[in-house]
Chain A
């Protein structure tokens, strides 16, 4: 054996070392995340793993969601007022909020109005010097209609900021509690710009949140430490580590071996075993999402509500959920999930009754119907296996004489073609809530304005539209609730979708993890979490 071979043998160490899994020091919480973050500026991205790695733990917003709920609570704005016409929001900023001190940046001042204005104007104003830094696309900011909504942001004084809107918008507070509205340090941005490296602020983040960034090794690990100066008090854990582990089965093995304390996105097939595992605490919560089959209501015979209703009644949703979700889903009867306020539980779902469905189709003059059902090429929480779902629908509808052809396209193409008003048949899709407001579900997916866009049913129905538009401008939540409840009744009657599923979000953690709360908005928030 030559020298080289010996060296390689030493290099690889081919003697199986009887090494147990190494324990992590106390007060270091390890989270097995599913993927690398796309970057470290939450304003650029919409991916859940990126937002977990940034806004959920590193940054604050003016207004925040209370951990484990969709209730709005003060963030770095300790109070706010809305003008009588609903077009002006004045935020009073908290004093004593400090930005993180890192290897490359030591803040000389606390958070003030300049930081708030910078964080929004970077996304709003194409002339802002940071607008094009890192090729920022500001997807969420644009999706939520902020450029058309915000007229001006005014600094009243160092700790008061006024947002002047072009029109009244009752979901403004919920919108700016979202991740894209994370408050960044203007002082840091200016310093990096002066150094000729403005893009660094998007790679080495500085926020005011409970944890601060330490290091990142792509596809391997992200390290954070608790922010000792956090305005709500230091986090109970000292260090937070994201161990990036793409495969769900491997994440589970790591959890069992004690190599991580919390894991993201378990395999539905592993849920039963996790529930029985003595080392694992399986937490579950109904997800803030809905999976649906949208009929193209501009196309015959789906322009007839009776036909849509009949097809819904020919679909055995319970069997579909059991097969596709394997216990991690629930039948949906409304376009809103049950966890959102204004959910109308009094709505009665269409019964599974193939005989009645066939009769209704006959009455509508529909015989020998041949149609397409679009199956998504990707897995989503609201539909982990669209192909399987489409096959089950195909089998159900065959019983009432409807012949289904299942089609699928590449994901971006699927979405683009599905938005075309003349797309063929019915399309499987879904929606995950962004901010806990019913408007984010109904106006985004079923309003007349969204026809040709996110309204994949291409459905515009005036009585429904009037209700959801009125709910947009009414401030009183009780009144809004009534409007949305009525809207759900109309939705059930008109049946532009077959509402199919709400997922059950499962979060497996080790037993030593305490005070963890599942975020109904799908994030992983580690402030307040402790280890026994």
Chain B
């Protein structure tokens, strides 16, 4: 297991550097430059443009810029945003907890509802419930996040008035960001009603972000379960006289979980992509919105740093998923 872990970590290293190179190349391949974007319609004289390009170091050859970027990375320095003039790592760490909080809740919704829905649909194949789950999953997967978010806001916030429209907590509360996780910070703040307000703000965005993973997990669980339920060992378990709960819950589900866990792991990347739209609609101060803004502004250090950090998180989550396989199915051994 330790050897497997080390080998996986070793594989991550070239991936990590590959990401640094890709992020650098992609952002520099985009037309336009940040200095001209700063000036907007006002324009800028070629002399002034040249001076500022020099000041920011963008007049140097690309390989030197990339080398300096790597040198900074070795010293733990991701650079400074050219828009806000703040360190990229600081900006990322300020915003990342909000995305984590939202994503964890979204994946929780997806698993909490998707897994049982897929299981029941598989065991009751061809039933009304099965058709309902599959139709719902298809609809959930196909629904544009932007439209779905606005629809929920109009219904639950506008018409019913049950949930707030957007944000992370009511402006009545002044919660100091201690951990960056609003649910925890609101509890720590000791302000009556703050936690309740934070939860009410989280419900709709988590539901919207969790919709696509929910649909994917439900479909994947159903198909994996159908495959497993037809296996000989399930028939044997039934023949032994085991109850349906034990047969499905222990024998079938455990084996069906391998592809489902893989799917859940892969959904982490999808969540970050979905977070861009969800955060925009719900004014959620996370990294999705920050990355998009940075790309539009050609904020090179923020885009490079942000992509690298997000890719690292996704890689680590997938590493954890790989390790989980062994826990679920001890037959899997971490060997070549």
Contact = CB atoms under 8 A, between A and B. Distances in A.
Interface of A: 5, 8-9, 11-14, 16-25, 28, 30, 35-36, 38-39, 44, 46, 132, 134-135, 137, 139-140, 142-143, 199, 202-203, 215, 217-221, 223, 241, 243-247, 249-250, 253-254, 256-257, 259, 380, 409-413, 415-416, 419, 429-432, 453-454
Contacts of A18: 162
B37 A243 contact: no
Interface in B138-191: 150, 153-154, 156-158, 161-168, 170-172, 174, 177, 183
Contacts of A259: 164-167, 171
Given A19-B164, A219-B95, A245-B283, 10 more contacts: A9-B112, A13-B202, A14-B112, A20-B161, A38-B83, A245-B167, A246-B289, A250-B165, A250-B281, A416-B32
Nearest to B84: A39
A512 to B, nearest CB: 16
The prevalent SS among residues of B at the interface is: helix
B31 A221 contact: no
A196 B54 CA distance: 25
Contacts of B246: none
B32 A16 contact: no
B203 interface: yes
Contacts of B167: 220-221, 243, 245, 259
A21 B157 contact: yes
B318 interface: no
A225 to B, nearest CB: 11
Contacts of B42: 46, 139-140, 143, 454
25 contacts: A5-B112, A8-B105, A11-B104, A11-B105, A12-B104, A12-B203, A21-B161, A22-B164, A22-B197, A24-B171, A28-B171, A135-B80, A137-B38, A139-B39, A218-B290, A219-B285, A220-B167, A221-B167, A244-B283, A245-B166, A246-B280, A249-B150, A250-B282, A259-B166, A432-B41
B237 interface: no
A52 to B, nearest CB: 16
A256 B108 contact: no
Which of under 10, 10 to 19, 20 to 34, or 35 or more describes the interface residues of B?
A: 35 or more
Contacts, number: 193
Given A22-B197, A137-B38, A139-B39, A199 B165 contact: no
A223 B174 contact: yes
Contacts of A253: 153-154, 157-158, 165-166
B86 A24 contact: no
Interface centre among A143, A203, A243, A419 (most CB of B within 10 A): A143
Given A219-B95, A219-B285, A254 B84 contact: no
B157 A257 contact: yes
Interface string B24-67: 00000011110111111111110010001001100000000000
A17 B196 contact: yes
B222 interface: no
B7 interface: no
A135 B55 contact: yes
B108 A220 contact: no
Q: Which 9 A-B pairs have the closest CB atoms?
A: A412-B32, A219-B285, A13-B199, A412-B36, A220-B285, A22-B170, A134-B85, A12-B105, A410-B31
Given A22-B170, A25-B172, A410-B30, A17 B162 contact: yes
Nearest to A13: B199
A189 to B, nearest CB: 15
B214 to A, nearest CB: 13
A157 to B, nearest CB: 35
Given A8-B108, A12-B109, A135 B202 contact: no
A410 B202 CA distance: 36
A193 B196 CA distance: 43
A256 B164 CA distance: 11
A127 B255 CA distance: 70
A135 B56 contact: yes
B200 interface: yes
Contacts of B84: 38-39
Interface string B6-33: 0000000000000000000000001111
A442 to B, nearest CB: 15
B91 interface: yes
A135 B82 contact: yes
A430 B40 CA distance: 11
B298 interface: yes
Given A217-B177, A218-B95, A253-B153, A13 B203 contact: yes
B193 to A, nearest CB: 8
A254 B283 CA distance: 11
Contacts of B252: none
Given A135-B82, A412-B36, A413-B31, A247 B283 contact: yes
Nearest to B49: A416
Contacts of B89: none
B301 to A, nearest CB: 11
A44 B290 CA distance: 20
Interface string B62-93: 00000000000000000010111110000100
A412 B31 contact: yes
A41 to B, nearest CB: 9
Nearest to A221: B171
A143 B39 CA distance: 8
